[in-house]
Each structure stands twice: as C-alpha cells, then as structure tokens.
Amino acid sequence: MKNYPVNLVTLPNGETIAYREAGQGEQTVVLLHGNMSSSLFFDTLMEQMEADYKLIAFDMRGFGDSSYNRPITSLLDLAQDVVQASEALGLKSFSMLGWSTGGGVALELAASRPDLVDRVILVNSVSLTGYPMFKKDAAGQPKLTERITTREEVATDPVQVLPILHAYATDNKELLRSVWNALIYHEAKPCPQRYERYLEAMLKQRNLVDVDYALITFNMTAAHNGVVAGTGRIDLVQAPVLVVQGENDRVVPLAWAKDTAAALGSKAALHMLPGVGHSPFTDSLDELVALLSAYLR
C-alpha cells in the first residue's frame, strides 16, 4: 500500500487545494472524489494506473487537506477551483474521472472549459438533476412528496445530516463505518489499514451541509428538478463521456446513469459493472482499471 504525499497549490481565489500525484505518463487524468471522502480514496486506482498515466487527485474545497475559506454554493464553485488548480499546475488538457458528487463537478468543468477536457469518466455519478433530499416523518422515513428545498432544511435533517455532523464533531469513526458498510462497502470492504485511513479522511470534511445543499440544487438539464430550474449546461459538454455504474449501487440508482447517458446522446457510452456497489475501486478494481485503460487508450 503506497502513501502518496499531499501537495498544496494556492489559487487566485484564496483557497489552498491539496492534491496527490502519481505517475509520469504522457496522458493526464484528474481524479475528483465524492462526498464524505477525499483524494485518498483513489489510492488503489492510482497504484494500478500510475505506470501508464499521470494521475492528479484533488481534495476539493472543504475536504481533506484543502482549505475552506469561503463556503461553496454550487458544484460549479468546486469545478472552478479545479480549473484554477489545474492552470496553476500547468495542465493544458486532461481527462477527468469524477466519482459520485465528483461526477457532477467533472461535468460542470467540462461544460465551463471544453478546451481543457479530453474525456470525462463518470463513476456512479450524481444525477444530472442533482441528489434529492426529502423531509422525514416521525419514524425517520422520507416523505417522497415533500422535498427539502433550503439550506436550513438540509442543516437540520435528522437522518442524513445531523448524525454525520455529530460523528464529525465527536470523531465517531464507528458511526461512519456503519454508514459506509451499509451503503457503500456492502459488496467488499477495504483492507483494515486502508479503511482506517479513509475514516480519518472523512473526519476532515468541513462542508457537509453546503455540499448537500449544492447537490439538491444541481441541475444541468433544461427541466425543473423540483427545487430549481435547470441550467441546460449539459448541452455545453463537448468531450466524450463514459458513464460507469455499479449494478448494486445503494447510493446512486442505475436509472440515473441511464438518464445521464441518454441526455448526452452520441457523446456518451454506458457501462454497467455487474455485482458492484457504489465503490468500484473496492468491489471490482481490476475490471474498472481494464475498462478505463481501454477507454483512455
């Protein structure tokens, strides 16, 4: 197990973004993590791909070892950070892999700066219409006809948000472990040493409420998502997109991946990973690496 050192780059907007780097290949791949995680979660992928590619995994603003001087209000804010960080590192063009929330960030970046982006790979990505949250009944079950629409409602959600905030505040790794075991690592778990490192990285997050709010208001389609009108920015994406989806994902439904591929039309290809949950890096790493290598070739 490799321990990739953390590097720092200061952006013109005043944020300091942390990143891990591996490989000396001619082709650069930028890795964008999901919610409740960081660049550290790409360690297994980097170990497998560093012989052939230059890999740069960023801690997005408010995650891991990056700063959080100004709160974000959208996934586009995170995308603009990655643009500034990439320019500061002298990257002229690159492919992007976005996992979960990172998939939405990757698409916003591809829409904003098509000149920078060669290819996009979405791994179990958030839907083009965001990640909805619903109000809860007395038993803690979601009321599927009553969406959460404000940041204040997000901040006081008793099921998805408050327990995680409390775990962060009290360094409660066991609660976080139980959540990840149930929702993400139900097919396979990281080795104990890696898992401990991942839990430590989770505890560094400082932007949970802001990211959750950004997810319910993320909408790159032309339609209303129940919270906000769509921006239509998906039409600005020019790069080819590989949509990778675990069949058994308990966080992101397969239907969302199909909708994303359909919205992108001829630019997109959809690949389902049988028997895989939300973390292909854990559940089916060899299959994922083979798929990515073939696509990037």
The more confidently predicted of residues 244 and 1 is 244
For the chain, percent of residues with pLDDT exceeding 70: 100
Q: What mean pLDDT, rounded, does the chain reach?
A: 98
Query: Domain spanning 7-131+217-296: which superfamily?
Result: Alpha/Beta hydrolase fold, catalytic domain (3.40.50.1820)
The pTM for the full model equals 0.98
pLDDT-derived band at 126, boundaries 50, 70, 90: very high
Q: Which candidate, 124, 121, 133, 123, places its Cα nearest to that of 294?
A: 121
- Count the residues in the chain: 297
Work out the number of other CB atoms within 10 angstroms of the CB of residue 37. Answer: 25
Amino acid (1-letter code) at residue 208: L
Instruction: Tell me the pLDDT tens digit for each residue of 223-275.
Output: 999 999 999 999 999 999 999 999 999 999 999 999 999 999 999 999 999 99
Q: Can you give the residue ranges of every domain in the chain? A: 7-131+217-296
Instruction: Tell me the pLDDT tens digit for each residue of 6-39.
Output: 999 999 999 999 999 999 999 999 999 999 999 9
pLDDT-derived band at 134, boundaries 50, 70, 90: very high
Per-residue b or e along 128-157, where b marks 16 or more CB atoms closer than 10 Å to that residue's CB: bbbbbbbebeeeeebeeeebbbebebbbeb
Report the phi/psi class of residue 172: left, alpha or beta, with left for phi > 0 and alpha for psi in -120 to 50.
Answer: beta
pLDDT-derived band at 157, boundaries 50, 70, 90: very high
**Predicted pLDDT of residue 2:** 93
Measured CA to CA, the distance from residue 284 to residue 108 in angstroms comes to 27
Work out the number of other CB atoms within 10 angstroms of the CB of residue 3. Answer: 9
With 0-12 / 13-18 / 19 or more C-beta atoms within 10 angstroms meaning exposed / middle / buried, residue 267 is middle
